Amino acid sequence: MQGFNMGRYHAPSSLDSSLSTTTRKPPRNTPSSQPPTIRFELPLPIWCTTCQPESLLAAGLRFNAHKRRTGSYHTTPIWAFTFTHTPCRGSITISTDPARAAYVVTSGARARTLPSASEGALPVLLPGAAEPEAEPDPFLKLDREKTDKAIADSEAGRLARLKEARERDWSDPGAANARLRGRFRAEKRVRVEKEKEAEGVAARKKVRREVEGARADEGDGEPNGEAAVSTEVKPAPLVTGGGLSEDEYIEEDVEAEVP
């Protein structure tokens, strides 16, 4: 029996890779010399220095950037992202700064700096943020402190009584739980009785409606549910002169003929 691939022709290039005329593709695991291209989002607003005049790029804009490693901080790698600003075709590089947990503009642009509140700039209020309080009046502050102290003194006794009542009621959690469960059981009994009573009333109403419907079905052939009255008219007996009926008149004539 002939084995597999026995007696078949094999080209020299298939046996010796050096004789092959086709270029073999490198394995996918082999690292490429070109840095990978990723989608990079600006973490901070920057001014493009290549544009004339300089143009502002807001934080959140996305670019196709080349990512490469430029160093390390202890064991944390430092990455650099290089992308092109389309209007001016300028190259901008932004790097990570693990020491400060921030991003640094390396070339092609400069970071936008906002004036701080200490320099006279107005504070920026975010949605939902509380407005900064003005410097309080010292006399008004003193009056409020006195008022708060008086309220605290007046409420101290009530708070103490509430604390004592709580400690008294919940000193024994088992007994308190038993009281609550007993009250819940009593309320449940009343609620169940009311539900049964309501169900009974509904059942009686349903039976009454069924009876009335049955009676209405029986009286459908009679007007207004009353017994039908016969309208047949019987012929009245013939009355002749003298107030006698026909039979009595005939009998009277027969008696008169007999001698």
The pLDDT assigned to 236 comes to 52
Residue 252 in domain: no
Residue 1 buriedness (CB in 10 A; 0-12 / 13-18 / 19+)? exposed
Residue 7 in domain: no
Residue 70 in domain: yes
Residue 63 in domain: yes
Which is more confident, 192 or 115?
Answer: 192
Among 66, 60, 103, residue whose Cα is nearest residue 81: 66
pLDDT per position as a tens digit, 134-192: 566 788 888 888 888 888 888 888 888 888 888 888 888 888 888 889 999 999 999 99
Q: What is the DSSP letter of 85?
A: E
- Edge-to-edge strand list for the sheet holding 55-57: 55-57, 46-48, 109-111
The pLDDT assigned to 171 comes to 84
Among 62, 53, 55, 44, residue whose Cα is nearest residue 114: 44
Three-class SS state of 84: strand
pLDDT per position as a tens digit, 74-114: 999 999 999 999 999 999 999 999 999 999 999 999 998 87
* Residue 216 pLDDT > 50: yes
Residue 81 in domain: yes
In terms of residue numbers, what domain contains 50? 34-113
* Residue 116 pLDDT > 90: no
Tokens in use for 63? Answer: 């670019």
**How much of the chain, in percent, has pLDDT values that exceed 70?**
64
* Residue 237 pLDDT > 60: no
The upper half-sphere exposure of residue 99, i.e. CA atoms within 13 Å in the direction of its Cβ, equals 6
Residue 174 buriedness (CB in 10 A; 0-12 / 13-18 / 19+)? exposed
* Residue 227 pLDDT > 50: no
Q: How far is CA 141 from CA 151, 202, 215, in A?
A: 15, 68, 86
Single-letter amino acid, residue 259: P
pLDDT band at residue 254, thresholds of 50, 70 and 90? very low
The distance of Cα 106 from the centroid of its chain, to the nearest Å, equals 45
* Residue 248 pLDDT > 70: no
Residue 101 in domain: yes
Residue 160 in domain: no
Over residues 217-225, the mean pLDDT reads 60
Residue 103 in domain: yes
- Edge-to-edge strand list for the sheet holding 76-85: 37-41, 62-73, 76-85, 90-97, 102-107
Residues 6 or more apart whose CB falls under 8 angstroms from that of 85 comprise 48, 50, 51, 55, 57, 91, 92, 108, 109
Is residue 53 reached through a cis peptide bond, with omega within 30 degrees of 0 on the bond before it?
yes
Question: What total of structural domains would you count in the chain?
Answer: 1
Pairing of strands 37-41, 46-48: unpaired
Which is more confident, 247 or 56?
Answer: 56
